[in-house]
């Protein structure tokens, strides 16, 4: 089970007209039934609180909305209140405190991966990318981390074409160079933001095919990441730089990422030798073939076979958190489509119990007659075999045990149908063994 690289969500019909998805109505109910959360009426109250003047009230409301959006897939609420949610989030991101800006940025990303209407998604992309491009300036601010991550999620789910994806990549690229100019070894916040920005840039690059990448825009990428490895010994920074370099090798078209005029094979050898000499941990990744990995999603596993798959999945898992990622993978069709993930888990329970043996037992008593203890023992073994003496009692026995319409035969038929259904589910692989 692999993942798929793609940019944005195609929502066009055969005639090229854009429309909103009406399919999968109620799919958000999967997570709502599986994980108890905030009552739906509470979301409306939290939305109203975003209009309050007191910043702390808005911060608490944003926190509650984020938690709910991670626990449940609120398609219906989002579609009914999209404009209010979007412009309240944007207002908080423009005018709030650092904490409020960070929360609003995160909420915008969650909104992007919840709305199913293509027109609304593209409106969200235009408004939020415009905001982020103006806000991401050289000064080190704590909320940049959430803003950078939200920019990626918005582009990932709402961009219509590779041109729009590269526009967001350019915003991040400019920010990376601005942020890299500070003395990051002495500024922990600046270092974490730079790491997040490089990881975000790589995630967006992983959604593009090599032939779609602009042939001039990223010429300095390989030299920049190699210089970053040689001049810094910060492990987190080395890790994301190495990931970016191996991703570029995987995509190919190396001359689009390098100023060198050498052949692509020579550029690849230089990258691998430099990476392995700086950090021996990456020697095992230096071969052409990516070492396969897997990650658990519920009781299933997703096999990762490329750097692109690994980077995308790790990024979204970090953005949503472990529980939120599993909830959205199982209940959000938008995320499942991106990852080509088929949810094979039952939405109503977390475990399937199939009994090893079942029996049909029907108990009845005759009017005016109390069965003896030994008669009850006989009834429990084999067939119900009471010592009937009268014709009336024999007739009752025939109706209860031997007639085609008897309660016992009906129960036996129900049991056989149930067992057939279990066998069919096992053959189609709907329920996954825990082994």
The string of pLDDT tens digits covering residues 293-333 is 777 777 777 777 788 888 988 899 999 998 888 888 888 87
| Cα 376 off chain centre by | 57
Q: What is the pLDDT of residues 340-358, one digit of tens each?
A: 666 665 444 444 445 555 5
Q: What is the pLDDT of residues 343-397, one digit of tens each?
A: 665 444 444 445 555 555 555 555 555 555 555 544 444 444 445 456 666 666 6
- The fraction of the chain above a pLDDT of 70, given in percent, is 63
Assigned CATH topology for domain 29-339: 1.25.10
Place of tokens 């909320």: 143
**What is the rounded radius of gyration, in angstroms, for the C-alpha atoms of the chain?**
30
DSSP letter assigned to residue 260? -
Q: Is 366 left (phi over 0), alpha (psi -120 to 50) or beta?
A: beta
pLDDT of residue 181: 55
What pTM was computed for the model? 0.70
Helices (H), 206-251: 221-231, 235-251
Residue 405 has pLDDT above 80, yes or no: no
80-87 contacts: CB < 8 A, separation 24 or more? 81/44, 81/47, 82/111, 82/115, 82/117, 82/120, 84/47, 85/47, 85/111, 86/111, 86/123, 86/124, 86/127, 87/127
Distances (CA, A) of 51 to 57, 106, 128, 325, 420: 9, 18, 19, 29, 57
3-state secondary structure 354-411: CCCCCCCCCCCCCCCCCCCHHHHHHHHCCCCCCCCCCHHHHHHHHHHHHCCCCHHHHH
Alpha-carbon distance 327 to 333, whole Å? 11
Alpha-carbon distance 415 to 418, whole Å? 5
pLDDT of residue 391: 67
Alpha-carbon distance 300 to 342, whole Å? 10
Length of the chain: 435
All structural domains of the chain with their residue ranges = 29-339, 373-428
| Cα 29 off chain centre by | 16
Q: b/e map of 219-250 (b: 16 or more CB within 10 Å)?
A: bebbebbbebbeebeeeebbbbbbbbbbbbbe
The pair of structure tokens assigned to 241 is 């730089």
What is the band of 432 on the pLDDT scale with cuts at 50, 70, 90?
Answer: very low
Contact 127, 90 (CB under 8 A): yes
Contact 92, 114 (CB under 8 A): no
User: Mean pLDDT across the chain, nearest whole number?
Assistant: 75
Cα angle value 415/348/324 (rounded, 5°) = 155
Q: What is the pLDDT of residues 184-193, one digit of tens each?
A: 666 778 888 9
Cα angle value 89/93/98 (rounded, 5°) = 130
Residues near 417 by Cβ (< 8 Å), separated by ≥ 6?
none
């Amino acid at each position: 089970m692999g993942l798929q690289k793609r940019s944005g969500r195609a929502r066009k019909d055969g005639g090229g007209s854009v429309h909103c998805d009406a399919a999968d109505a109620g799919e958000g109910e999967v997570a709502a039934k599986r994980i108890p959360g905030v009552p739906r009426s509470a979301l409306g109250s939290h939305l109203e609180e975003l209009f309050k003047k007191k910043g702390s009230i808005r911060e608490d409301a944003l926190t509650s909305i984020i938690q709910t959006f991670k626990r449940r897939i609120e398609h219906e609420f989002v579609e009914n209140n999209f404009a209010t949610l979007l412009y309240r989030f944007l207002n908080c991101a423009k005018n709030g405190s650092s904490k409020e800006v960070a929360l609003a940025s995160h909420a915008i990303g969650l909104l992007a991966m919840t709305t199913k209407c293509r027109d609304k998604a593209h409106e969200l992309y235009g408004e939020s990318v415009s905001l982020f491009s103006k806000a991401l300036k050289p000064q080190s601010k704590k909320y940049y981390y959430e803003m950078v991550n939200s920019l990626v999620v918005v582009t990932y789910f709402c961009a219509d074409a590779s041109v729009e994806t590269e526009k967001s990549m350019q915003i991040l690229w400019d920010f990376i160079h601005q942020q890299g100019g500070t003395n990051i070894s002495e500024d922990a916040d600046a270092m974490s933001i730079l790491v997040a920005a490089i990881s975000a840039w790589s995630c967006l690059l992983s959604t593009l095919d090599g032939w779609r990448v602009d042939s001039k825009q990223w010429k300095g990428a390989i030299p920049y990441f190699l210089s970053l490895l040689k001049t810094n010994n910060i492990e987190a920074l080395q890790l994301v730089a190495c990931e970016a370099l191996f991703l570029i090798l995987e995509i190919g078209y190396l001359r689009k990422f390098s100023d060198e005029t050498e052949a692509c094979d020579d550029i690849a050898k230089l990258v691998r030798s430099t990476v392995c000499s700086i950090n021996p941990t990456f020697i095992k990744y230096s071969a052409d073939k990516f070492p396969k990995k897997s990650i658990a999603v519920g009781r299933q596993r997703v096999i990762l076979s490329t750097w692109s798959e690994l980077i995308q999945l790790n990024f979204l898992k970090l953005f949503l958190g472990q529980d939120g990622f599993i909830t959205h993978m199982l209940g959000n069709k938008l995320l499942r489509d991106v990852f080509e993930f088929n949810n094979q888990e039952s939405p109503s329970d977390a475990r399937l119990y199939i009994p090893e043996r079942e029996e049909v037992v029907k108990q009845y008593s005759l009017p005016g007659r109390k069965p003896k203890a030994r008669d009850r023992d006989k009834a429990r073994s084999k067939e119900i075999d009471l010592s009937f003496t009268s014709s009336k009692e024999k007739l009752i026995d025939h109706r209860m045990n031997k007639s085609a319409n008897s309660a016992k035969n009906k129960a036996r038929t129900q049991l056989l149908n149930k067992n057939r259904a279990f066998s069919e589910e096992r053959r189609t692989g709907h329920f996954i063994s825990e082994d």
